[in-house]
């Protein structure tokens, strides 16, 4: 019985460790380099685990991770507001190692600010 408990604890530890390593958290983004820019949504995916937007920044395409859908809707930011062609202003942090990826801190749509963290 003690052996089963040790195996269960080891499995739980490894599961937690793998989630921490594989989940992209704020630590993966350089918060010392905020990018504040206006752009147009080229594509958006409004589904969990995070809403994604494809945008142009400095003539290059970027994937911007927004918030989970529940947080977006709780704060009044619907899928229609960030659909293709929508003009937005983003404040986002670049990924430390992945070129073309950012995580948004906030988004402005029609002059209204939405905090995403």
Q: Which domains does the chain have, with CATH numbers?
A: 28-115 (2.40.50.140)
Q: Are residues 73 and 67 in contact, defined by beta-carbon separation less than 8 angstroms?
A: no
Residues across the chain: 117
pLDDT in tens, 27-53: 999 999 999 999 999 999 999 999 999
Q: Which of 102, 71, 70 is nearest to 88 (CA)?
A: 102
Residue 24 has pLDDT above 90, yes or no: no
Using the predicted structure, report yes or no on whether residue 10 has a pLDDT greater than 70.
no
Give Rg (Cα) of the chain: 18
- Of residues 115, 104, 105, 108, the one with CA closest to residue 82: 108
CA angle, 29 then 35 then 39, to 5°: 120
Q: What is the pLDDT of residue 5?
A: 55
Q: Lowest-pLDDT range, 8-12, 17-21, 80-84?
A: 17-21
């Amino acid at each position: 019985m003690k052996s089963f408990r040790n195996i269960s604890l080891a499995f739980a530890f490894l599961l937690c460790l793998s989630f921490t390593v594989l989940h992209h958290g704020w630590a993966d983004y350089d918060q010392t380099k905020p990018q504040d820019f206006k752009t147009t949504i080229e594509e958006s995916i409004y589904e969990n685990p995070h809403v994604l937007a494809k945008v142009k920044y400095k003539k290059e395409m970027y994937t911007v991770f927004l918030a989970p859908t529940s947080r977006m809707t709780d704060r009044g930011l619907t899928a229609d507001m960030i659909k293709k062609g929508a003009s937005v202003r983003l404040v986002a942090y670049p990924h430390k190692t992945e070129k073309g990826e950012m995580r948004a801190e906030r988004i402005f749509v029609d002059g209204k600010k939405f905090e995403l963290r």
